[in-house]
Chain A
Amino acid sequence: MRFQVLADGEPRPVELVFGGEQDLALVSRWRAPVASEARPGVRDTMEFARLASKRWRYYRRSIATATSLDGLKSILSREPRAEVSLLLLVRGDWFDRSSVLGLAQCRRTYCHNLILEFLSVHPAIVAGAPPKVRGVGAGILYSLAELAGTVGAPLVWGEATAYSAQFYAHNLNVKKITDHFFIRGKTLEGCRRLFREKIGGIA
């Protein structure tokens, strides 16, 4: 899957791919700019990247793990009620600090819904260090909706916090989000449309 983000106001292509062990090694090398190391958002994103790696490794031992879209489809055809772990990465070769700009740890439940367990963006992007990149977080969310549509999952859901509720409300065009969000029906279609028509998304 591909979509466009903005880097210093210029459109730049990024790719959303299924990740694996080798990609986690890249994520473990994420570093925050020294000046903004202590900022809460920056620290949180670093910690989330670490937790994502731990969680992904744990899932790898306990449930099925898909490392490609075909792999996911194959698991689902063999075992329709399988719980499947997915690590989605946003990659862009033009980003000097790392080839991984963001990640999302997701799980496909036995009901064929997707759970967004967490989403994290490179600490330098969170810190607003140059180049100023916009669209990684929202792009992942829209891509996830597109992925759900591709595999026929009717719902993407997840936890919202006091800090992220506003983001979801604006992103999903919903009046109020409390501690959870559901992307389904018209909202899911709207996100998929945004992916295809507004952010240059190619499935």
Chain B
Amino acid sequence: MTKAALIKKLEAAYACEDYFPGVLGNPVTFAARWGLPLSKSYLKYKEQQLRASKRRRPALEIKKNGAAKGHRRTKVL
């Protein structure tokens, strides 16, 4: 097989790597399931991540009262 053909085959076989998240599984659930302690630095990192996501969350929308009312009032008889 030529090198070019091998590269083509590998590229096709590894196309799914675009979806590879780096690790398969979740460190936190894995640690919890097996009773393993997460490292202090990781816990600190997760805490920072949580704080940052809270900061990014948009403030509660304040309901507007609608379009400004005109000065003239319709007299209701």
Contact = CB atoms under 8 A, between A and B. Distances in A.
Q: Do A and B come from one complex?
A: yes
Interface of A: 4-6, 9-11, 38, 40-48, 50-51, 54-55, 58, 116-121, 123, 126, 134-135, 137-139, 142, 158-161, 163-164, 166-168, 170-171, 194, 197-200
Contact of A159 (B7, B9, B11, B25): B25
B67 interface: no
A132 B17 CA distance: 12
Contacts, number: 132
Interface stretch (B26-34, B58-66, B68-76): B26-34
Contact of B25 (A9, A43, A164, A171): A164
Contacts of A138: 13-14, 16-17, 20
Given A48-B27, A161-B24, 20 more contacts: A4-B6, A6-B11, A44-B27, A51-B27, A55-B36, A118-B24, A118-B25, A119-B24, A120-B24, A123-B22, A137-B24, A138-B16, A138-B17, A138-B20, A164-B20, A164-B23, A170-B19, A199-B10, A200-B6, A200-B9
Interface of B: 3, 6-7, 9-17, 19-27, 29-31, 34, 36-39, 42, 45, 49
> Do most interface residues of chain A lie in helix, strand or loop, or is the interface mixed?
helix
A45 B30 contact: no
